[in-house]
Each structure stands twice: as C-alpha cells, then as structure tokens.
C-alpha cells in the first residue's frame, strides 16, 4: 500500500480492470525474493540449476514464440503523429488505450498482481528517475529486482513527491496476435501485453529508460542513450571514461567488461554499464554519464572465458538464465561457451538436443545478473553525479564499408556520424537476421520521438558547450573477400580504445579524411598481435567510390525524415560529398 494518492488510485483502477485474485506490493527484500523463487520452482516457471556449480541460479524457458523484442508491435502513441516520427510505429492515444484495455479486461483473473516500485539510477542521484511496474509475472518481478533498484526505498522516493513513470504489464495469453508494447510519453505511461520477454516486459529497461526517458531528456536538456559506459585506467592510474552505442547483440557487454591483452600491462577496464546511459551536461560543460540499470540482461551465446572472462566470472551465481540449454547435471550451456557440447543435452525448449531442431540455446538466450557481481565493476558505478565522458563511440556490424575506427572532425560531424550508423540485424529482435539497416545512434528501436528532432537535440549540445566528448566510430566486424572477420575483436579492441584515449589527450597521430580521422598505421598499438600490414591497411581503408555511394544512401535516409532534419546534418552531407569528389578527381 502507499501514501501516494495518485499511485494508490492507479493501482486500484488497474485492479478493477484486470481483476487479479490478490495484489502484492513488492518490497525488494531477500525473504520476498526467496519465497517468489520457491513458488516459481514449484510452478515450473523456474528450473533450479546445479546448485554446487551454479549456486542460486535458475533457468526459465519462455514460450517459443516469445523470445525477442517485437518491433512491429511496439508503438509510440503521441497526440501528434509527427512527434513520434517515421522511426516509430504510431497509434492515436485514444485508439491505443481502447485496443489494449480490451486485452487487459479480466486478464489477471486467478493471478497475483505485483506492484513494483523501482528507481532507475543510483540512490541519491538527482539524475535518477522512479517508476512503478504493475505485472502478473513473477519472472518479471525477479528480473526487475536484479535490473533496477526495486522496493521500499523506491516507494519512499515516490512518496516524497517525485514523479514516476507508470508501466502496466500482463503476459495475457502470450498470443502474438494479442501482443502490444505501447508508450504514451505525454502521460509518462507504458502499457504492455502478451509477452514475458525482457525488452517487452521488464518495463524499466527499454520502455522507460530509453523510449520514455529520451522524450523527457529532450524537453529537459539531457540524453537517454543505448550505450555502455566504461572507465579505462592507464598504467599511471588515470581513468578516462567512454560511452559506446552499438545496436543490440553487437558486443556492448563484451566491450564494457574487456580484459586487455597481456602486453597491455597496467591497463584496466572498469565496467559502469553495458546497455543504457543517461548523459547530463555538468556545470563544467562536460557530459556526465550514469547507468540507470543495476544489472545485466545479456546475450549468452558466444560468451566464454575467451570472449568475455569477466562476464563468465559474473554469471556463475545468483543468475536467472532464459532459454539456454542444460547439461545432464543441470549446468547452463550455450553455443560458444568454453565446454564442448556434452552428451545428453536438453535444448532451450526442454527437448533432448537434436541438431535438426537448430541450436541448443536460443540465439537470443539471456542471463540476468546483478552488475555488482562483475569482477570489473567500477567503484564509480554508483556515483550520484555520474562519470565525465571524454569520448563517445558509435558502431555497427558492417562486413564492408566502415573502417575499424575513425574520429569525427567536430561535434556536428560526430552527430552526423551517429545518425549514419548502419548495422546488420541480429537475433535480439524478431525478423530476419543479417540485413543492413540504418540504426542511428543504435536507437532505431528505442528513440521515443521523431529521429529528426532527436538529431536536432543532439546537435544543440554543440551550441551549449565547448567541453563535449570527442566522437568516434568503430566497426569490429569487417570481413575479407573469403568472408572471414579481419579483426580479432574482443580483448584486442583494447588497441582501438587506447588510440581513442590518446586522441582525447591530443597524443596519437591520425590521417584526416572526408569521413573522419583514421589512425596512422604506427599509432595503433599492435604489440603481440600477428596481423599483416596489408590486413591493417585494409581494415583502415576508406574507399572514396564506396563512400560516395554510402553518403548518398545516408542522405536519402536523412531526407526521408523531411523538413525537420537539422541543417547541420545536411551541411555534413554536402561537405563530405564535395571532399570525396575532390579526392576522386585527384
């Protein structure tokens, strides 16, 4: 129960619509969680994993048709359609309410309605924001408890008079034909039905901390971004903070937890966040970043002690796994994990593993785990003021076109660089995998308003401060003619991070090109890495013919947003095209 009249009235009104058997206010305590887990194990919602090798770890198998975000069923419902932009599916608020409320009618009969007060961001930070999620899924409660700061303290924050985002969620009947994820930014309200999957159901994450928060950030002068945050400590003990935006399942978690190669003696990466960053201009004109989340909801397949040792050191205990495979002795298993595929494996759907059914773990199988368990967790991760950023990195998964790394020439060009991100699609959303699509700032699925207004908002920071981070673009995924990755990636990405830090300090050399500055061959630290000069040259190459086509495509994409596109971006298109033309003529 609550002293906040607005919250009490909303819970009462929701209960009248959904008709739950009982209402449970989540306090976030250990005792509450243990009881919930016990009930879920009894009901088969959670399966206890091997408690000797994986203490306090559980497996959840979702409905096979409910394994990823559903972008085609995700709507931004603003009074004015243009406010949502062509980057979002739109529905008029009244129609949306009517449609989804009809699906909510009586949907919690016989179920418990959980009321989860939560805080996104560190306790005691002025940048943190509250929310309340109502859900009928105990699995959502257990995940939210890891991903956000839930319970009594968050409720106290709300009762102190702070505003909160309302999120209504029911798994409904899990029928994809009766599934919607709807956002009403003008009402600070989210309504989700028909899915229990993370991004559709853990409403503090994508729905609140990105779609609603990006809308609030625009009106209030800050940025809510799909970015990891890390601190890079050099051998003298100096730490440089960097945020990086890559599309879903493109390695944000791996980069956030990177372990430098042995030759980088004395360098250390500290993890602050792996998915979402809220950036606020500080009094010094720098951008200060907080991670609104408290946990990681990461992709399991491909994670191993080679690709991400810190992650493997995080997920061995107190972890909820979703849609991984299980070994005969109850240990989680996925494609790419260290242990070879064992006999008698059970696949993600609970069937004896048969290669004819596809991979043993779903390609979007996940782990949910507290960030504080990560061996590289930064002592600044809960700093109320956040950490000051020296660099922002954009990136995508491109087998061609984009070089390993380049630096934008200034803020305006950096905003263009972010707006022009493209990437091959992954299993994090339903739909075909491997298609190149434009994914500006890695926010295509998450920007809660018109992209053109979003780019103008980004550009406006350039007028407000001269102390902004430098902007870079990276691509770990370039392939050679035989389709093989040319860059080793993972820990070796440290080499690129080091160049970025040195550029921020005004030390490393670069070659200026129309699309940005690329490293001189000798300014990338390649010690201990066996790559030929030809491969490195190919990784850094910018082909003026291919880039002329690329810029034409970017311009076409930007143009599709019409007159609202900021002049700053079109200025960059014109500049790059004319410089490329000069280069081709030379």
Residue 165 near residue 292 (C-beta atoms within 8 A):
no
Which residues 68-127 are close enough to bind ligand OXD by CB under 6 A?
A: 69
Residue nearest to ligand OXD (CB): 248
**Least distance CB 154 / ligand OXD (angstroms):** 22
The rounded Cα 193 to chain-centroid distance in angstroms is 21
Token output for 579: 């410089």
Nearer to ligand OXD (CB atom), residue 147 or residue 518: 147
**Least distance CB 422 / ligand OXD (angstroms):** 16
Q: Does 297 bind ligand OXD (CB under 6 A)?
A: yes
Q: Does 321 bind ligand OXD (CB under 6 A)?
A: no
For residue 65, what is the DSSP state?
A: T
Q: Does 248 bind Mn ion (CB under 5 A)?
A: yes
| H or E element, residue 428 | none
Token output for 495: 């080499």
* x/- letters, 231..270, toward ligand OXD (CB under 6 A): -----------------x----------------------
Residue 484 CB neighbours (<10 A): 7
Q: Does 275 bind Mn ion (CB under 5 A)?
A: yes
The rounded Cα 34 to chain-centroid distance in angstroms is 28
Residue 21 near residue 109 (C-beta atoms within 8 A):
yes
Nearer to Mn ion (CB atom), residue 205 or residue 473: 205
**Least distance CB 428 / ligand OXD (angstroms):** 4
Q: Quick one: which segment of 242-250, 299-307, 471-479, 511-519 binds Mn ion (CB under 5 A)?
A: 242-250
Which residues 32-71 are close enough to bind ligand OXD by CB under 6 A?
A: 69
Q: Does 133 bind Mn ion (CB under 5 A)?
A: no
The DSSP line for 14-66 is HHHHH--SEEEE----HHHHHHHHHHHHHHTSSEE--TTTSTT-EEE---TT-
Catalytic residue, candidates 107, 207, 250, 504: 250
Q: Does 275 bind ligand OXD (CB under 6 A)?
A: yes
Nearer to ligand OXD (CB atom), residue 14 or residue 254: 254
The DSSP line for 152-182 is HHHHHHHHTT--EEEEEEE-TT--GGG-EEE
The interface partner of residue 297, options being ligand OXD, Mn ion, none and the CB cut-off 5 to 8 Å by kind, is: ligand OXD
Residue 537 near residue 521 (C-beta atoms within 8 A):
yes
- Degrees, nearest 5: CA angle 426-429-430: 105
The interface partner of residue 270, options being ligand OXD, Mn ion, none and the CB cut-off 5 to 8 Å by kind, is: none
Q: How far apart are CA 138 and CA 45, in angstroms?
A: 9
Q: Does 428 bind ligand OXD (CB under 6 A)?
A: yes
Q: How far apart are CA 174 and CA 579, in angstroms?
A: 53
Residue 523 CB neighbours (<10 A): 16
The interface partner of residue 199, options being ligand OXD, Mn ion, none and the CB cut-off 5 to 8 Å by kind, is: ligand OXD
Which residues 494-533 are close enough to bind ligand OXD by CB under 6 A?
A: none
Query: Which of 583, 514, 512, 496 minimizes the C-alpha distance to 554?
Result: 514
Residue nearest to Mn ion (CB): 275
Residue 393 CB neighbours (<10 A): 26
107 is catalytic: no
Instruction: Give just the sign of the alpha carbon dihedral 370, 29, 174, 129.
Output: negative
**Least distance CB 425 / ligand OXD (angstroms):** 11
Q: Does 423 bind Mn ion (CB under 5 A)?
A: no
* x/- letters, 195..224, toward ligand OXD (CB under 6 A): ---xx-------------------------
Residue 324 near residue 361 (C-beta atoms within 8 A):
yes
Query: Which of 413, 419, 468, 439 minimizes the C-alpha distance to 579?
Result: 413
* x/- letters, 386..425, toward ligand OXD (CB under 6 A): ----------------------------------------
**Least distance CB 301 / Mn ion (angstroms):** 15
Q: How far apart are CA 133 and CA 192, in angstroms?
A: 10
The interface partner of residue 477, options being ligand OXD, Mn ion, none and the CB cut-off 5 to 8 Å by kind, is: none
Bridge partner residues of 513 (DSSP): 516
Q: Does 274 bind Mn ion (CB under 5 A)?
A: no
Q: Quick one: which segment of 227-235, 245-253, 310-318, 524-532 binds Mn ion (CB under 5 A)?
A: 245-253
Q: How far apart are CA 543 and CA 409, in angstroms?
A: 18
Nearer to ligand OXD (CB atom), residue 448 or residue 514: 448
Location of structure tokens 């930064």? 378
The rounded Cα 233 to chain-centroid distance in angstroms is 24
Residue 461 near residue 396 (C-beta atoms within 8 A):
no
**Least distance CB 275 / Mn ion (angstroms):** 4
**Least distance CB 253 / ligand OXD (angstroms):** 9
The interface partner of residue 198, options being ligand OXD, Mn ion, none and the CB cut-off 5 to 8 Å by kind, is: ligand OXD
Residue 519 near residue 407 (C-beta atoms within 8 A):
no
**Least distance CB 204 / ligand OXD (angstroms):** 12
Nearer to ligand OXD (CB atom), residue 120 or residue 518: 120
Q: Which stretches does DSSP call E strand in 446-569? A: 470-474, 510-513, 516-519
Query: Which of 271, 131, 152, 273 minimizes the C-alpha distance to 211?
Result: 131
The interface partner of residue 335, options being ligand OXD, Mn ion, none and the CB cut-off 5 to 8 Å by kind, is: none
Sites of contact with ligand OXD (CB under 6 A):
69, 198-199, 248, 275, 297, 428
Binding site for Mn ion (CB under 5 A): 248, 275
Q: Residues with catalytic annotation?
A: 250
């Amino acid at each position: 129960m609550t002293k906040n009249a607005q919250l009490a009235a909303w819970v009462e009104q929701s209960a009248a619509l959904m008709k739950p058997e009982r209402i449970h206010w989540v306090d976030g305590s250990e005792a509450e969680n243990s009881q919930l887990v016990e009930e879920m194990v009894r009901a088969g919602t959670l399966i206890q994993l091997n408690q000797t090798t994986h203490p306090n770890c559980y497996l959840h198998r979702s409905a096979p048709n409910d394994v990823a975000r559903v972008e085609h069923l995700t709507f931004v419902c603003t009074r004015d359609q243009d406010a949502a932009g062509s980057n979002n599916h739109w529905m008029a608020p009244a129609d949306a309410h009517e449609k989804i409320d009809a699906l909510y009618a009586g949907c919690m009969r016989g179920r418990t309605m959980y009321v989860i007060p939560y805080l996104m961001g560190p306790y005691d930070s002025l940048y943190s924001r509250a929310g309340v999620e109502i859900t009928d899924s105990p699995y959502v409660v257990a995940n939210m408890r890891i991903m956000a700061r839930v319970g009594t303290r968050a409720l106290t924050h709300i009762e102190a008079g702070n505003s909160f985002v309302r999120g209504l969620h029911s798994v409904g009947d899990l029928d994809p034909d009766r599934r919607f994820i709807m956002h009403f930014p003008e009402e600070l309200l989210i309504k989700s039905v028909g899915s229990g999957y993370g991004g559709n159901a853990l409403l503090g994450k994508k729905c609140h901390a990105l779609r609603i928060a990006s809308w609030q950030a625009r009106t209030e002068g800050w940025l809510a971004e799909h970015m990891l945050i890390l601190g890079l400590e050099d051998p003298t003990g100096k730490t440089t903070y960097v945020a990086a935006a890559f599309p879903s399942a493109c390695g944000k978690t791996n980069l956030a937890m990177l372990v430098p190669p042995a030759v980088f003696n004395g360098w250390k990466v500290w993890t602050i966040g792996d998915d979402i960053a809220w950036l606020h201009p500080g009094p010094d004109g720098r951008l200060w970043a907080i991670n609104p989340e408290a946990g990681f909801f990461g992709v399991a397949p491909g994670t191993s002690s080679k690709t991400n040792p810190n992650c493997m050191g995080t997920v061995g205990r107190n972890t909820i796994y979703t849609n991984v495979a299980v070994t005969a002795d109850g240990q989680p298993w996925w494609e790419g994990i260290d242990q070879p595929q064992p006999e008698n494996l059970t696949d993600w759907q609970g069937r004896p593993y048969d290669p004819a059914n596809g991979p043993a773990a779903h390609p979007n199988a996940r782990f949910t785990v507290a960030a504080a368990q990560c061996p590289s967790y930064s002592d600044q991760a809960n700093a109320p003021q956040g950490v000051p950023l020296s660099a922002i990195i954009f990136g995508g998964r491109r087998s061609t076109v984009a070089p390993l790394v380049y630096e934008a020439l200034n803020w305006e060009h950096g905003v263009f660089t972010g707006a022009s991100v493209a990437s091959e699609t992954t299993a994090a959303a339903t739909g075909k995998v491997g298609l190149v699509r434009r994914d500006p700032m890695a926010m295509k699925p998450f920007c809660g308003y018109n992209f053109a207004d979003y780019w103008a908002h980004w550009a406006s920071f350039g007028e407000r401060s001269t102390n902004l981070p430098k902007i870079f673009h990276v691509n770990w995924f370039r392939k050679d003619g035989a389709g093989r990755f040319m860059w080793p990636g993972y820990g070796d990405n440290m080499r690129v991070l080091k160049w970025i830090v040195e550029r921020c300090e005004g030390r490393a050399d670069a070659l200026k090109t129309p699309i940005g500055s690329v490293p001189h061959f000798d300014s990338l630290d390649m010690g201990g890495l066996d790559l030929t000069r030809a491969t490195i040259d190919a990784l850094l190459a910018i082909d003026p013919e291919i880039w002329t086509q690329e810029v034409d495509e970017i311009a076409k994409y930007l143009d599709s947003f019409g007159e609202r596109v900021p002049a700053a971006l079109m200025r960059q298109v014109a500049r790059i095209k004319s410089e490329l033309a000069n280069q081709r003529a030379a």
